[in-house]
Amino acid sequence: MPPRYPRDFYGHGPDRPDAAWPGGARIAVSFVLNYEEGGENNILHGDPASEAFLSEIVGAAPWPGQRHWNMESIYDYGVRAGFWRLHRLFAETRVPVTVYGVATALARSPAQVEAMQDANWEIASHGLKWIDYKDHTAGDEAADMDAAIVLHTEVTGSAPKGWYTGRCSQNTVALAAARGFDWISDTYDDDLPYWAQIDGRDQLIIPYTLDCNDMRFATPQGFNAGDQFFAYLRDSFDALYAEGGAGRPAMMSIGLHCRLVGRPGRVQALRKFIDYVQGHEGVWCARRADIAAHWVEAHPPQPRTNWHLLDRDAFVAKFGGIFEHSAWVAEGAHTLELGPAHDTPQGLHNALCRVFRAAPEVKRMEVLRAHPDLAGKLAAAKRLTEDSTVEQASAGLDALTDDERHRFDTQNSTYVAKHGFPFIIAVKDHDKAGIMRAFDRRITNDTATEFAEACKQVERIARLRLEALR
């Protein structure tokens, strides 16, 4: 198989589907609380060094073989004070919450887990430990994932239905999909959930966020004050809310951390944003489990073309006639670096046209000459390809009067004698009168101009044929 590009640059496409949120909501808002304190890097947890990520100590470095007392106490603030401040806020405002719970952190926080459950918060898994998995083998990461599921189940009483590692590897999503989670959030690539086909299984992905996230209080070029956080959340909400009003409802995720937004100087920004959201009609604040359940019901997975995964013979058999009697175009396209973005008419059309455009003029001339005369002798003898027969019939060229047929025959002969190839036009765009007007206009072109125009028409015909395959 030639190179195949795994990243999907098409997604929902230019016209994303109507999410059809419950109650006709214009936006779905998902508040996520990352519960990591007690699961971070620490030699007490068997790690080689202290934590250095997402704290008040911006630019901190790991301390190999040592406890970092200041870092630990900053994390401790999150569970001792920040969590309860956020718990009270969400309880007062009746906002549903999804928790990304690190299993070892949950195990060390029984009171907080009980409070989450009493509030009917969803507790998804945030892995066994809050560490970076980029350098782990797939086997080691899988072992930690399995251990996380076991520990999570012991601590909460039920297995997690959703998964988010965060500091993940290239294997994370596939490993999580193999374990049958209802949803996975280890992507940041869309404003709506979507189905990904992973190892033959349709997996629901609910993208997460790193921009509408209080982590930017702890990173360079991030938020310096609560009003910056509020302003960014408000502007993001306003943009998505307006899109929802225009018929394109989307989802907004807000990422939170007990030790960050749980500070007094920041929590008011979150309170202001919640008040702002609740001051709008048509807003669905939902846990990710609720969003997943809705998406499964309203937008179940659909059959995929997977054109880019066809082997050479199947690919050429399916697309070899898109350029008239010119299977070499499809053969060339199959050797390109195709990916999911080529599984649409416009995507595959681009690949086929690349091969056609890159070919020497003599090869492109062969394609032009492979096209039949419009309403000519091949049509009368019923020897057109199936595509050409349908296309000419759509413009009424299969039902000509004697005078019309005589005129077409005359024009065909004159055109071919002048240019050396038949007159080509995407007939779907025209009726008989329009085709004849184009004939009269183009027959006067010089051959170089007409060759370029004929090639454009061949590409247009190819696009229409691909669209008819969907």
Residues tagged active-site: 371
Whole-angstrom distance, CA of residue 355 vs CA of residue 351: 7
β-pairing, 194-198 vs 201-205, is: antiparallel
Whole-angstrom distance, CA of residue 464 vs CA of residue 339: 21
- Residues 151 and 103 sit within 8 Å (Cβ to Cβ): yes
In Å, how far are 262, 461, 466 from 305, measured between CA atoms? 47, 21, 12
For 239-245, the CB contacts below 8 A with 24+ separation are: 240/27, 240/191, 241/26, 241/27, 241/280, 241/282, 241/283, 244/25, 244/26, 244/27, 244/282, 245/26, 245/282
Alpha helices in 81-225 (DSSP H): 83-93, 103-107, 110-118, 138-156, 172-178
**Helix and strand tally (H, E) in the chain?**
18, 9
Query: Within 10 A of 91 (CB to CB), how many other CB atoms are there?
Result: 13
Tokens read off for 111:
């009171």
Tokens read off for 197:
């086909």
